Chain A
Amino acid sequence: MSHEHEHDHGGSHLSEVELRVRALESVLLQKGYIDPAAIDVLIEAYETKIGPRNGAKVVAKAWVDQAFRRKLLSEPAQTLASLGFAGLQGEHTTIVENTPKLHNMVVCTLCSCYPWPLLGLPPVWYKSGPYRSRAVIDPRGVLRDFGVELPDDTEIRVWDSTAEVRYLDLPARRGGARRSSLPSSPGTA
């Protein structure tokens, strides 16, 4: 898919797609099919409340709290719900754990399935042709595009999210993270 984006130039010029979306929204409103308050709730949720910080909190807590880590891996749904990270596109979440010998990658080759409550809406690269096409056939090459070079003997496991199960990769802890720098109660901020 094209990666070109329409940019708001702040003037009166509106692109064809902007005009079309405005027209569609206007017709939907005039016909009484949508409630603008609901649209605002949906956009605001994913613009301001739900994003990768949620997943980062889960990972950080799993790194310092072994009981939590075990529970997260064995009962992901209940554990994530207890932190408030359930909801749309996170109804059936599985956590996959990296080890020194295993690197997990998650893709949706067919569309853009992504664990919204943990990571927010998928970024453009995740939805793009290069990632969707190559993740399952050349994952080491994809990782190199991200500046990650894995040893040849590291196993790679790619999870193609083809149904309603969503995956979050729990990376291996690499030094830096310290208990004092992590939130004491993930999910509350």
Chain B
Amino acid sequence: MSSAWWRRGVLAAGGFAFLAATVDPGVAQGPPPGFSPLDKTNVKASKQDESLRPHATPPTVTPVEKIPVDKLRLPPGFRAEIWSSGHPGGRTMVRGTKGTIFMGTRLIGRVYAIVDKDGKREVKTLLQGLTQPNGLAFKDGSLYVFAIHRVLRYDNIEDKLDNPGDPVDLTDKFGLPDTIHHNWKYVAFGPDGKLYVQVGANCNICEVNPGTHAQIRRYNPDGSGMEIVARGVRNTVGFDWHPVTKELWFTDNGRDWAGDAGPEDELNRIAKGREGANYGFPYCHAQGLPDPDIRVPNPCAGTVLPAALLGPHSAGLGIIFYTGNMFPPAYKNVAFIARRGSWNRSQKYGYDVVVARTSGGKATIEPFMTGLLDTKKNEFYGRPTYLLQMPDGALLVSDEQNGAIYRITYGPKTAGK
């Protein structure tokens, strides 16, 4: 080994005093407790394959030629193209008023800003080193970033994408639990101007304190006026408001290790005047199944049952109601739901985007974007996570596995996009 280069390094550094200065200041050191000690998972009793484990998300850039856009299948007249790529782990998407697409992530800890430059997308890493900054919302020029319990507001962010500066720290005002598991946030502003915030159950299956976990909350944008709008929600990872009824619809991921068949994930609605209703966790799942590991009398009494089931372990994440004019009228006001795909199931399931047609508090589910799952080989090629409607009516779909966004359009091919 030639050692000249490292000797040079040592000499240039002038000793060892720099060691203490190698960690960036300003970020909390060491995570808080993540997972509830009350978890009652019983893998043996599930009779499932005990070697099932979550799939890894690549933390590095997927080359454009390896992004599986050619595998995507859509109803006639729709087409998909790669809209942007090179943002590993990119999941949630919100659009700023000046057109910036902000993307949240989980383990890689980044927030991206994607801007249009000369008809192409330019990806900037806006923030780095956060703990699972999945929750993003945009209002009045400000980007709200939720990273587990931390809440940071970046004002006039679209004017300073290259140097976002210090945020307004709202963490103490929101007072969210610092438990990590199932608390990579989803947040969104409602039609009432309130900020709606997910607080998941920090376990697979456990008793939770209903005053702190397994909820959807809403706040004033400054973190005041907290109200619980839904209880018994294991882990909602996406919600949106029906464009006509203004009611909140949310996805909820079912528990693991209770069989390959489910309990299925849920699509739920908070009916008008029913804010604070109970959605069953941990006693009652899906269409009214008692939990096998935590047994109580009348487990489903008082529980609001789902509007639709989203499939076993399918991991329904982002949901948006489509209000654009590009797609055929049959898609007006229907919900699109991204299903990230299963891990706790021998035969893989999901990895697609489905349509939910809602009517009278119920919904029917039909396929929309498929092709990322090969059921014969039991292999997947991508994981749709979140959805965004663009001003022209096109639908953006994020693929976390490939760090890419697909643009879904309808009608004749549009040049340059």
- Whether A and B are associated in the same complex: the answer reads no
> A residues engaging B (CB < 8 A)?
none
> B residues engaging A (CB < 8 A)?
none
